[in-house]
A and B are shown apart, each in its own frame.
Chain A
Amino acid sequence: MSPLIEQLISAFKCLPGVGPKSAQRMAYYLLERDKQGALELAQSLQMAVEKIGHCDMCRAFTEDERCEICSNTARHSNQLCIVETPADILAIEQSTDYKGLYFVLMGHLSPLDGMGPSEIGLDILAKRLAEESINEIILATNTTVEGEATAHYIAEMVAGEDIKVTRIAHGVPIGGELEYVNGSTLSHAFSGRREV
């Protein structure tokens, strides 16, 4: 096989879930049928990798120094919602009326993945908390053990400061029937019950 084709195939293998077989299929497809598409892909990749960095406030991806949400002065700058991934911001923006700012951890605490406090940007978070006048932190990490650990760690980090720390509620999904809700969710829902 020509060295260039081989190089292309092995380059495709860096995509998650793409093995040698799929990489070969993609390479041949682009070369045979869609050279224009291939060029566009190459250019977009090049541009994106060169230009896109992390927002200096929330760590989300952006090609500017500061992302759209962080630079929007109409948003409440005293509320900070902490999420694991940029996709979580999207989900919250689409379905809630939250108007505060965000901070993206780009993961969660997981020592086995090499993710410790500085890898999830907690030094940057601490600096923000010290410099800005934030009075509420909303911990919207996942409801996995790792997400809980991360939320707990941040809560402890902030303890003693004049900042209200809240954790998103977890419980029975809307339209869910108790009988089919898994045990741990149901027990959380029970311990987090509230007066009506």
Chain B
Amino acid sequence: MNSDPVSLNKQDKAYVLHSRPYKNTSMIIEVLTREHGRMTLVAKGAKRAGSPFQGCLELFTPIFIAWGGRSEMKTLYKAEVISGSGNLAGDLIFTGFYLNELIMYLLHKHEAHAALFDAYQDCLNNLQAGEDTELVLRYFELRLLNELGYGVSLDHELQTGEPVQADKQYTYNLEAGISSDTSSDSAVLNISGDTLLALSAGEISTERQKSEAKRLLRSILEYHLEGRPIKTRELFTQKKKFPLSH
């Protein structure tokens, strides 16, 4: 039996997706790592004044971590902020909350998806760089779905295999996929060919394409979320519900 805990240590790049207090001064954190997937770690004494973890376990901050231990829940031994990284501010934090909800609900624990980690990192960097939030989100959602094996073929009709044409109208539903058969009356979503091609090529440009892509991805995600509501949406919708006027 290997009794040396040090040799069981692992290390990886990570982002904290969620943290909650544990005992008096500790925290239980949920991290997304690049090579080891999503997992839960306990950060002992993280809330104590002068803890080396202080300031390192914030959301949306890339860190380098080492963990180990023999119990089910591993212990965080080390965390270091990867330098040169800023953080999200203002409304972008809410956007970040949305990303974290998607990952927590859709990604199983201990399933490593390096490409998903990279997509998350790119997404945060692009948001921070001030790129169009809607577009950054759409491309992330698409990469997330592809990486989890829920990808949708956007440039070909699912049933006929015909390539999608920019000037035609299409419908989408879960079983039939993308189809040019617009006669069906069941619950389908209408989407134009140019949006499908633009989304697939990462070249969405017009407002119409943006809103069509948003509806398409939302409907696919909703299916995989199995009815689980995205709480972050309230942060955008409830704002109007608090009138302060006398």
Contacts and interface: CB of A to CB of B under 8 A. Distances in A.
Given A116-B235, A126-B244, A16 B23 contact: yes
By size class, the interface of chain B is 35 or more
Nearest to B49: A173
Given A111-B101, A117-B234, A117-B238, A184 B91 contact: no
A112 B234 contact: no
Given A148-B93, A156-B239, A112 B104 contact: yes
B32 to A, nearest CB: 13
A156 B83 CA distance: 31
Given A16-B23, A116-B238, A152-B93, A130 B246 contact: yes
B22 A17 contact: yes
**Is the contact region of chain A dominated by helix, strand, or loop, or is it mixed?**
helix
Contacts of B56: 182
B235 A153 contact: yes
Contacts of A131: 246
A176 B135 CA distance: 43
A117 B98 CA distance: 15
A149 B244 contact: no
A131 B61 CA distance: 40
B239 A157 contact: yes
B58 interface: yes
Nearest to A128: B244
Contacts of B104: 112
Contact of A126 (B22, B61, B243): B243
B225 to A, nearest CB: 13
A122 interface: yes
Contacts of A110: 18, 97
Contacts of A184: 55, 58, 61, 81, 87
Given A17-B22, A111-B235, A182 B54 contact: yes
Contact of B244 (A111, A115, A161): A161
Interface residues of A, number: 33
Contact of B242 (A144, A152, A157): A157
Contacts of A158: 244
B59 A145 contact: yes
Contacts of B246: 130-131
A3 B24 CA distance: 31
Interface in B12-38: 17-18, 20, 22-24
A113 interface: yes
Contacts of B24: 17
B12 to A, nearest CB: 21
Contacts of B22: 16-17
A152 B90 contact: yes
B73 interface: no
Contacts of A117: 234-235, 238-239, 241-242
A145 B60 contact: yes
Contact of B18 (A17, A112, A149, A156): A112
A185 interface: yes
B20 A185 contact: no
A182 B93 contact: no
Contacts of A118: 234, 238
B102 to A, nearest CB: 11
B55 A183 contact: yes
A19 to B, nearest CB: 11
The 10 A-B pairs at the shortest CB distance, nearest first, are namely: A111-B231, A182-B55, A126-B242, A116-B234, A149-B93, A145-B59, A111-B232, A17-B23, A117-B238, A112-B18
Interface of A: 16-17, 109-118, 122-123, 126, 129-131, 144-146, 148-149, 152-153, 156-158, 161, 182-185
